[in-house]
Chain A
Amino acid sequence: MNQVPLNPFFKKVLVIDDSETDRFVARRLIQKYEFAEEIVVQESARKALEYIRSLESTPEQLPQFIFLDIRMPEIDGFGFLELYKELPESLKVNCVIMMLSTSLDPEDHQRAESNPYVSKFLNKPLDKEKMEELKQEFSAKKHAA
Chain B
Amino acid sequence: MYNKLLERQLQKYLKEVPENVAELLNVISASYDHFEQDRLMLERSIELNSEELLELNRLQKKSSYELKTLFENIDDVFFSISFPDFQLLQMSPACKNIYGYQVSDFQNNSRLWYESIVEEDKIIFDRNEKAMHTGVAFNIEYRIQHKEGLQRWVETKIKPTLDENNCLIRIDGVTSDITPRKRAEEIIKTTNENLKTSIDRLSEAQQIAHLGSWMLDVKTNTKVFSTEFYKIFESSTSKFAETLEEYLTYFHPDDRQMVSDAFNGAQKDHKPYHYEARLLMKDGSIKNVSANGKCILDHNGELIKMNGTIQDVTDQKKIENAMEKNIVELKKSNSELDKFVYSVSHDLRAPLCSMLGVLEIAEDDTTDPLMIEYLKTLEGSVRKLDGFIADILDYSRNSRIEVRNEEIDFKELLDDIAQNLKYMGNNKRVVDIKINVNNSVPVYCDKTRLNIILNNLVSNAIRYQNSQIPNPFVDIKIDTSDTETDIIIRDNGIGISKEFHDKIFDMFYRVSDESIGSGLGLYIVKEAVTRLNGKIEVQSETGDGCTFIIKIPNSNYLIYL
Contact = CB atoms under 8 A, between A and B. Distances in A.
A105 B364 CA distance: 31
A25 B354 contact: yes
Contact of A124 (B347, B353, B390): B353
Interface in A1-46: 19, 21-22, 24-25, 28-29, 32
Chain B, interface size: which category? 20 to 34
B358 A71 contact: no
Contact of B354 (A22, A29, A32): A22
B447 to A, nearest CB: 9
B391 to A, nearest CB: 11
Contacts of A116: none
Contacts of B423: 129
Nearest to A127: B360
Given A124-B357, A126-B357, A127-B357, A71 B350 contact: yes
Contacts of B358: 21, 24-25
A106 interface: yes
A71 to B, nearest CB: 6
Contacts of A79: none
A37 to B, nearest CB: 20
Interface residues of A, number: 22
A19 B390 CA distance: 21
B356 interface: yes
Contacts of A127: 356-357, 360
Contacts of A124: 350, 353-354, 357
Contact of A19 (B350, B360, B448): B350
A104 B357 contact: no
A59 interface: no
Interface in B335-393: 342, 345-347, 349-358, 360-361, 364, 390, 393
B364 A128 contact: yes
Contacts of B364: 32, 128
Contacts of B354: 19, 21-22, 25, 124-125
Interface string B390-408: 1001000000000000000
Contacts of B357: 21-22, 25, 29, 124-127
Interface in A36-77: 71
A103 interface: yes
B412 to A, nearest CB: 15
Contacts of A115: none
Contact of B349 (A25, A32, A102, A106): A102
A50 to B, nearest CB: 25
B22 to A, nearest CB: 176
A125 B360 CA distance: 9
Contacts of A25: 354, 357-358, 361
Given A25-B361, A106-B448, A125 B353 contact: yes
Identify which of B345, B347, B361, B393 gathers the most chain A CB atoms within 10 Å of its CB: B361
A128 B352 CA distance: 17
Interface string A103-116: 11110100000000
B386 to A, nearest CB: 9
A99 B529 CA distance: 33
A104 B346 contact: yes
B423 to A, nearest CB: 6
B403 to A, nearest CB: 15
A138 B364 CA distance: 24
A71 B360 contact: no
A102 to B, nearest CB: 4
Nearest to B359: A125
Contacts of A101: 346
A121 to B, nearest CB: 13
A127 B359 CA distance: 10
A21 to B, nearest CB: 4
Identify which of A108, A124, A129 gathers the most chain B CB atoms within 10 Å of its CB: A124
Contact of A102 (B346, B361, B448): B346
B346 A105 contact: yes
Contacts of B346: 71, 101-105
Nearest to B422: A129
Nearest to B362: A28
A51 B235 CA distance: 76
A32 to B, nearest CB: 7
Contacts of B361: 25, 28-29, 32
Interface of A: 19, 21-22, 24-25, 28-29, 32, 71, 101-106, 108, 124-129
5 contacts: A21-B358, A32-B361, A102-B346, A103-B346, A125-B354
Which 5 pairs between the two chains have the least Cβ-Cβ distance? A125-B357, A25-B357, A21-B354, A124-B353, A105-B342
